[in-house]
Structure 1
Amino acid sequence: MATLISPASAPPREPSAAARVFLEGSHRLLIGNDWVAGEGRSIAVENPARGEIIAEVRAASLDQLDQAVSAARSALHGDWGRMSGRDRGVLLSRFADLLDERAELIGEVMTLDNGSPLTSSTMVVRHLAAELFRYYAGWATKITGDSFQPSLTARPNLDFLVATVRDPIGVVGAIVPWNAPPGMIALKMAPALAAGCTVVLKTAELAPLVGELFAALWLEAGGPAGAFNLIHGHGEDIGAAMAAHPHIDKIAFTGSTAVGRKIVEAATGNLKKVSLELGGKSPVIVFPDADLDAVIPAAAMACYLSTGQQCMAGSRLFVHADIYDQVTEGVAAYARTLKVGDGLASDTVLGPLISARQKARVLEYMAIAKAEGAIPLLESELIDGPGHFLGPALFTDVTAGMRIEQEEVFGPVLVAIRFSDEEGVIDAVNGTAYGLSGSVWTRDVTRALRVAKRVDSGQVGINIHAAMSAETPFGGNRQSGWGREFGREGLDGYLKTKAISINLGPKL
């Protein structure tokens, strides 16, 4: 039976005066540095913690999408295209400073938009978004090519030199999710602009408001017209039109694997480049010699952070049979201490799910788990109040191949799988369609490295889960995506290489 666990005890505070002024203002698009009213469908923005509509946003029309793309393409050949790498870097650094200055407001709007605890939201602004802009600001002056003398056997008497040039890929259509808008926007915007591309950003319809604050900061930082454009819209119309748009050169998307497939299909019209950061079903692998005092809280938060609404969530807990009961009971006990509530309550650790629809989806997966024979060691539904709250759940006696073990739930649902040997756990770990993140927990360095190498994921931590930094590449294998974000690899996806062959004349 569902039980009410650890509700936040501190009452949520009301939105600040600055947040109220923003919410009550007009919500517009930014096209070529001009604020314009959207001409498409109205989008009601809900605070998922209170079930209240906090703003109305008008989507862009298809004509306005064309205008944004046109402004972005003009900027490539205008002031933005003529800007040096140094000046781009200075601009991005200035933008990072503005993010730091406005972190409280942006974080609060994120909390109102998607329900995240305020401390987490502000941290996303300061320690992810601002740091990404600073990191890629440094790269703007370091985009260089190469030179070499080729071996042209068909022309042995001529001397050649080849120079390679790294050029911006062009107009980037960036489509971001609702779960951490400041970080997701920065992951697209910062490397694209550092590379010299221009950007048309579509916000997530479930959490569109942070994008407007980024657009306002772009103007305040002095960004040239058209280099960054902001539009709102639903994925099925504006997002689909972006993916198919003949004058967008690249789509950078973070979201579900199902939508990622649709983007790939739509992109074939002009064979635009596509980078995809998609779903995951990431493993946390615990061996008998692991430090359980570190493992238990880390394994819990690997799954339950952001109420499980994160692509890198460690939602599959593989525990050696010798310590299975100790670990699962420890994780359940730790999870019971996590305060669930409104993100504006000071002691909230887990906020609401994003929508009633998502809550229903997670409850359905919990029912599926029980029908498949999984045992609910912890089954917690927070049902009081108008928000879309669910407490953390933990299922034991899960076996490989169960739907709850194979499919991404995107909610606070952890499944525990027992293993007895290293070879068998590797097969089980790699037995899903996904390959995004994961972690290995052991004091044996040799075993840790051996297992980490065999986990088919874009990122694997040893005695830590999802250790992300601006410098560390992140992305998925298999159906978890194409390409990498963060680090130098995150910049490479926004550049194209041109080889220039120079005939130096007869060899002397």
Structure 2
Amino acid sequence: MSERERAIIAAVSKQLFIGGAWRRAQRSFAVEDPSTGNTLCEVADASPEEGASAVDAAVRAQAHWATVAPRERGEILRRAFELLMARQEDLAWLMTLEMGKPLAESRGEIAYAAEFFRWFSEEAVRIDGGYAVAPNGRARVLVMRQPVGPALLITPWNFPMAMGARKIGPAVAAGCTMVVKPAPQTPLSMLALAGILQEAGLPDGVLNVVPTTRAGEMVEPMLHGGRVRKLSFTGSTAVGRRLLAQCADEVLRTSMELGGNAPFIVFDDADLDAAVEGAMLAKMRNIGEACTAANRVYVHARIASAFVERFAARMGALKLGRGIEPGVEVGPLIDARAREKVASLVADARERGARLLVGGGPVEGPGYFYRPTVLLDVSPHARMRHEEIFGPVAPVSTFETEDEVIASANDTEYGLVAYVYTRDLARAMRVCERLDVGMVGLNQGIVSSPASPFGGVKHSGLGREGGRVGIDEFLETKYVAIAAP
């Protein structure tokens, strides 16, 4: 590890953040550099009791925090935005070290995370209500918006800072306190973010961060007892289902951003260069480790040869390596288990007749690297047509008709995002309306934006994050009936 890497790791607290104080824990766990397999550092491993202490702190802080002026809450978020951007480079290095993505992508994620704080700093002062005369004229209707209350926020490893900011931003703006449980693979970015929010003036107890390797033991008790009133989770559909079941007894408000199986559809009238560029973005953002990643590429048979030739050439030319090295475009997968899953999906597809055009295997040596891969003629029965790939593998299939490709695109339990490339406006609107997804990228390969509502349908989740509606997930609506004067 270089001196710079050591300094960046050393600058982040490795302790629990509870009630505005950094606390030691009885146990710790190792955070690994996925590009080398070496340990970066040890981080405090919260116990169920320490998780309960974090909830205690959030509950104690809730009543006062709810009364803090919206402008003041917004100014805290604005200062946090400025601090994130001022420290973008060091934070990007930190993220690359623990998660593996190239530095250019980590820099982009820091800016993306910061934008959530800027967006919700402005939304804090726009929480509205209403006043009306009842239809019968004998009463007045007053509608007010109030914070839901203490929230439990569970964030994933693939976007370790942006997913935290996407939840923390609206919670702070709405007046909710919170406990954050980051993924054990990437806790350092969230701990760094906690330090920045503290520096920005967030009062003690409003934000509490408890990394743990014992998520099941710690989280389930938090969801019982009525003290936590909101759960926001980003992760797999399987875990989301379990958490929803646990929330049922207390009838908790829930937001779920779960799995995806995004189709990427290229019609025969598409701008081919734009479609190839969009496919690279939709597939290879974050090394393919994204719920929004293009998982099933459908190309009209008339242009399939030209598209596949260009796409495979681009994929094969990508430079693999440690994310902090200059020019690297593809980093490692998060861990050995992730790489093994990708390898098993590729093997299954090839056994079912898929043709390998480029890539197709792991890279020898340290770290969890897998070569960017393009497969052609993937069977509808292949596992990768139905499971999230979460890696740099693009299965390509051809189609003949609009009805055929829409049926294939919708043939999944997921419904997060789809991508469509066509220059026919009528077809574009028709297809966007018929796709069973929460978001569509029309002639573009990235849909994420702090100013836009992010979320899916079917087994891809509940609720929306970001945009004008993002703060609604942390607000309750109260109606007051007033006797007519």
TM-score range, shorter chain: over 0.9
1:34 maps to a residue whose letter is A
1:340-376 superposed Cα distances (whole Å, 9 cap, x missing partner): 1100111111110000111111111111111222222
Is there any run of 5+ residues in structure 1 with no aligned partner, and where? Answer: 1-11, 153-157
Amino acid at match of 1:27: K
Alpha-carbon distance change, 425 to 397 in structure 1, aligned in 2, over 3 angstroms: same
Q: CA deviation at 1:180?
A: 1.1
Whole-angstrom CA distance in 1 between matches of 2:3 and 2:107:
17
* Contact 1:279 1:311 (8 Å CA) reproduced: yes
What is the SS of the residue equivalent to 2:101?
A: coil
Q: Distance in 2 between matches of 1:100 and 1:395?
A: 39
Instruction: Please name the residue that 2:57 is paired with.
Output: 71
Instruction: Determine if the alignment matches structure 1 residue 115 to structure 2 residue 95.
Output: no
Q: For the residues of structure 2 that align with 1:206 and 1:241, how far apart are their CA atoms?
A: 22
| Bigger mean CA offset, 228-237 vs 329-338 | 228-237
Q: Would you say 1:139 and 2:123 are equivalent positions?
A: yes
Equivalent-residue separation in structure 2 for 1:446 and 1:346 (angstroms):
44
Residue in structure 2 matched with residue 268 of structure 1 by the alignment: 248
Q: Secondary structure of the residue that 1:322 maps to in structure 2?
A: coil
Q: Any idea what SS the aligned residue of 1:487 has? A: coil
Aligned twin of 1:377: 357
Q: Deviations over 1:190-234 (max 9, x none)?
A: 011101111111110111111111111122111111111111113
Q: Which residue of 2 aligns with 1:187?
A: 166
Aligned to 1:21: 10
Deviation at 1:65, TM superposition (A): 1.2
Say if 2:353 and 2:379, in contact at 8 Å, map to a contact too: no
One-letter identity of the residue aligned with 2:331:
G
Tell me: CA distance 1:61–1:186, structure 2 relative to 1, closer, same or farther (3 Å): same
Q: Report the secondary structure of 1:97's partner residue.
A: helix
Residues in 2 aligned to 1:342 and 1:243: alpha-carbon distance in whole angstroms: 39
Q: Secondary structure at the match of 2:417?
A: coil
**Partners of 1:14 and 1:344 within 8 A in 2:** no
Equivalent residues, number = 484
Identity of aligned residues (%): 39
Equivalent of 1:326, from 306, 312, 322?
A: 306
Q: How many Å separate the matches in 2 of 1:239 and 1:323?
A: 50
CA distance in 2, matches of 1:283, 1:369: 17
CA root-mean-square deviation: 1.6
Deviation at 1:327, TM superposition (A): 1.1
Q: Deviations over 1:17-68 (max 9, x none)?
A: 6314336xx51011110111123x4221000001100111121121211111
User: How far off its partner does 1:465 sit?
Assistant: 2.0
The answer to which of 399-408 and 485-494 deviates more is 399-408
Residue in structure 2 matched with residue 419 of structure 1 by the alignment: 399
Question: Of 80, 87, 104, which aligns to 1:102?
Answer: 87
Residue type at the aligned position of 1:151? P
Q: Distance in 2 between matches of 1:14 and 1:424?
A: 56
Q: Please say if 1:256 is aligned against 2:236.
A: yes
Distance 1:418 1:69 in 2: 52
CA contact (8 A) 2:336 2:368 kept: yes
Asked if the contact 2:19–2:206 (Cα under 8 Å) also holds between the matched residues in 1, the reply is yes
Give the whole-Å Cα distance in 1 for the aligned partners of 2:466 and 2:225: 26
SS at 1:181 equivalent? coil
Corresponding letter in the other structure for 2:341: R
Task: Give CA deviations for 1:434-453 in whole Å, capped at 9, x if unaligned.
Answer: 11111110111111111111
In structure 2, distance between residues paired with 1:435 and 1:428? 13
Shift of 1:404: 1.7
Is the contact between residue 316 and residue 373 of structure 2 (CA under 8 Å) also seen in structure 1? no
- Paired AA for residue 213 in structure 1: A
Work out which of the residue numbers 56, 73, 76 in structure 2 matches 1:88. Answer: 73
How far, CA to CA, are the matches of 1:38 and 1:252 in structure 2?
A: 25
Name the CA distance, whole Å, in 2 between partners of 1:368 and 1:246.
46
Q: Partner letter of residue 477 of structure 1?
A: V
Separation in structure 1 between the aligned mates of residue 341 and residue 222 of structure 2, nearest angstrom: 28
Offset, 1:382? 4.2
Matches within 5 A, 1:291-310: 291-310=271-290
CA–CA distance in structure 2, aligned partners of residues 476 and 20 of structure 1: 35
Shift of 1:242: 3.5
Deviation sequence 1:301-332 (CA, Å, 0-9, x none): 31122111000001111100101122122211
- The answer on whether the counterparts of 2:234 and 2:258 sit within 8 Å (CA) in structure 1 is yes
Structure 2 counterpart SS, 1:35: strand
Structure 1 position 295, deviation (Å): 1.1
1:448 and 2:448 matched:
no
Structure 1 residue 175, shift from structure 2 partner: 0.3
Q: CA deviation at 1:243?
A: 4.0
Of 238-247 and 448-457, deviating more is 238-247
CA distance in 1, matches of 2:369, 2:362: 5
Give the alignment partner of residue 30 of structure 1, picking from 17, 39, 64: 17
Post-superposition offset of 1:244: 4.1
Q: What residue is the counterpart of 2:48 in the other structure?
A: 62
- 1:467 positional shift: 2.5
Which residue is equivalent to 1:7? none
Residues 375 and 14 of structure 1: is their aligned pair in 2 closer, same or farther, counting only changes over 3 Å? Answer: farther
Task: Answer yes or no: is 1:481 the counterpart of 2:461.
Answer: yes
| Contact map agreement 1:233 1:239 (CA 8 A) in 2 | no
- 427, 435, 449: which is aligned to 1:469? 449
Distance 2:289 2:267 in 1: 27
Q: Distance between the aligned counterparts of 1:243 and 1:366, measured in 2?
A: 38
Structure 2 CA distance for partners of 1:422 and 1:354, relative to 1, 3 Å: same
The answer to whether 1:169 aligns with 2:154 is: no
Is the CA contact 1:436–1:477 (under 8 Å) kept in the aligned structure 2?
yes
Unaligned stretches of 5+ residues in structure 2: none
Letter of the structure 2 residue corresponding to residue 211 of structure 1:
M
Contact 1:460 1:466 in 2 (8 A): no
Measured after TM superposition, the shift of residue 289 of structure 1 is 1.1
C-alpha contact 1:303 1:412 (8 A) present in aligned 2: yes
Tell whether 2:91 aligns with 1:130.
no
Aligned equivalents of 1:150, 1:401: Cα separation in 2: 57
Instruction: Show the counterpart of 1:3.
Output: none
- Within 2, Cα distance between the matches of 1:300 and 1:210? 26
Look up the SS of the partner of 1:460 in the other structure. Answer: strand
SS at match of 1:319: strand
CA distance 1:422–1:351, change in 2 (3 Å)? same
State the one-letter code of the partner of 1:146.
G
